[in-house]
Amino acid sequence: AQKVTQAQTEISVVEKEDVTLDCVYETRDTTYYLFWYKQPPSGELVFLIRRNSFDEQNEISGRYSWNFQKSTSSFNFTITASQVVDSAVYFCALSEVYNQGGKLIFGQGTELSVKP
């Protein structure tokens, strides 16, 4: 069965601190995609990143970075020098591709609060 676990329900940091959001997934497929979405207080779901199962290279985008490790089935997300605008709920998601059009299995989300 496919499953995504985000063990951290809530995280609170002070501005400029670094913070890592954990994501652990389960799947029997060898080909899959992993995603992170951001849901700010306004409620929309904002795509942040997509990673395929064959690419374990870490990725950095500005203050955001992602660490994908197949050996531990983890896809963790780090925000460097956090800002108040980073306050949101962050969702990790798994997509098993074949014949399913990218159906997403979401984790429960981690609510990040960045205080000034």
Residues of the shown chain interacting with another protein in the complex, contacts defined by CB under 8 A: 33, 37, 43-45, 47, 50, 52, 91, 95, 97, 100-109
Ranges assigned E (strand) in 22-109:
24-26, 32-39, 46-52, 59-61, 64-69, 74-79, 88-96, 104-106
When the beta carbons of 15 and 48 are compared against another protein, the nearer one is: 48
Note the Cα 56 to chain centre separation in Å: 15
Quote the least distance from Cβ 40 to another protein, whole Å. Answer: 12
CB 113 → another protein: shortest distance, Å?
17
For another protein, give the closer residue by CB, 18 or 55: 55
